[in-house]
Amino acid sequence: MTLFTRLRLGLYSVYLVEWARLYSIDHFGVIEVNEWKEFCTDILPQIYDFLEVEELSDDDITRACSRQTVDESQEQPKQIGDMLPESKTMLQEFYKPYNEMLVHVLGNENFRW
């Protein structure tokens, strides 16, 4: 059985820095997924404002935010139990410099995970 790692998917700062070479960082809107899930109805109007497009009605915002999200990148998640503490530490150490770069690029401490 071949296992693939998804480590590169969490290197947000690397991708953002590449895009920032072409466009000013103020042209990007970055939202933390947990904030989106919790505050969608507050954040969605901000996105429309940021994009300078016509805002949705309150009903449309509520309807859009009440839809269940679907992760099409995988089939059914497998229940494999809790992560080993050693694995968690290794991942935190691996991502730490990239997360620090993300905080620096965005100027936002909320992205310090």
% pLDDT > 90, the chain:
61
Q: Say yes or no to pLDDT of 110 above 60.
A: yes
Q: Say yes or no to pLDDT of 74 above 70.
A: no
Predicted TM-score (pTM) of this structure: 0.72
Q: How many CA atoms lie within 13 A of 94 on its CB side?
A: 12
- CB atoms under 10 Å from CB of 111, counted, come to 18
Sign of the alpha-carbon dihedral angle for 73, 7, 13, 39: positive
pLDDT of residue 4: 65
